[in-house]
């Protein structure tokens, strides 16, 4: 287990402990067309006892379907983040959008959420075959925190063959879809990432990304003038 994976393990455990020590919220209420009385009763109880499928549904459903979404999501966040960061739960861009809607920065244990995200990102860059694709993890952590800078700084500082292979693969995907400058993160595209990401890529030292990728990025940023 790497240092980053150990950090993630400890951060998830600390988040679990903080969640268990918090006062239980009011009974969970929500759209009765979407949730049965049994669902709502289970969601009102200990999060550790929730069936995985019910947890997944609660993790991704719209905030408008709940009477007190921030309180519910704060209670479920330790399990949601554990499953997300270990590859059990997908839909990272949607989880990021839900965390934003839950106003997670105002939670008493918001620092632990940040630590989980930071350890997850560092650990992902270290793994040759992480359970969640690197661009998806970047989108999730950036959209959740509403910033790219610290995550890109970590990637720049992780100058390893594995991290650089992830970088080349990510750029290849962004170039393939022709969306680098217009790239937006989050389920609803809440976070505009393209310009900052492109500028960062072009500022990397030579050799961090393949020459042909740098060429295409430069061409996208400064296309040649059209012939009249």
| pLDDT for residue 89 | 94
DSSP string covering 6-21: HHHHHHHHHHHHHHHH
Q: pLDDT tens for residues 50-91?
A: 999 999 999 999 999 999 999 999 999 999 999 999 999 999
Exposed, middle or buried, 130 (CB in 10 Å: 0-12/13-18/19+)? middle
Residue 192 bridge partners (DSSP)? 184
Would you say residue 24 has pLDDT above 70?
A: no
pLDDT mean across residues, the chain: 92
- Please give the Cα distance from 118 to 120 (Å, whole number): 5
Q: What is the mean pLDDT of residues 178-186?
A: 89
| pLDDT for residue 106 | 96
Cβ 187 vs Cβ 101: under 8 Å: no
Q: pLDDT tens for residues 133-166?
A: 999 999 999 999 999 999 999 999 999 999 999 9
- Say which residues have a Cβ less than 8 Å from residue 3's Cβ, sequence separation at least 6: none
- Give the start-to-end residue ranges of the domains of the chain: 3-221
| pLDDT for residue 184 | 95
What SS3 class is residue 66?
strand
Q: pLDDT tens for residues 80-135?
A: 999 999 999 999 999 999 999 999 999 999 999 999 999 999 999 999 999 999 99
What SS3 class is residue 192?
strand
- Please give the Cα distance from 42 to 47 (Å, whole number): 8
């Amino acid at each position: 287990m790497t240092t980053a994976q150990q950090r993630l393990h400890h951060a998830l455990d600390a988040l679990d402990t903080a969640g268990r020590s918090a006062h239980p919220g009011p009974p969970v209420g929500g759209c009765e067309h979407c949730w049965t009385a049994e669902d709502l009763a289970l969601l009102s109880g200990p999060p550790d006892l929730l069936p995985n499928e019910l947890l997944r549904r609660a993790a991704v459903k719209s905030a408008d379907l709940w009477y007190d979404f921030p309180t519910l999501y704060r209670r479920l966040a330790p399990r949601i983040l554990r499953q997300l960061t270990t590859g059990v739960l997908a839909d990272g861009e949607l989880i990021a959008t839900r965390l934003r809607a839950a106003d997670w920065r105002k939670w008493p244990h918001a620092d632990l959420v940040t630590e989980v995200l930071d350890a997850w990102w560092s650990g992902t860059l270290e793994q040759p075959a992480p359970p969640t694709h690197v661009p998806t993890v970047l989108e999730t952590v950036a959209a959740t925190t509403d910033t790219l800078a610290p995550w890109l700084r970590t990637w720049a500082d992780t100058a390893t063959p594995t991290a650089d292979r992830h970088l080349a693969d990510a750029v290849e995907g962004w170039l393939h879809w022709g969306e680098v400058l217009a790239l937006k993160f989050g389920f609803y595209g809440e976070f505009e990432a393209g310009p900052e990401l492109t500028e960062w890529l072009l500022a990397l030292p030579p050799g961090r990304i393949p020459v042909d990728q740098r060429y295409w990025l430069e061409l996208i940023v400064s296309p040649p003038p059209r012939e009249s």
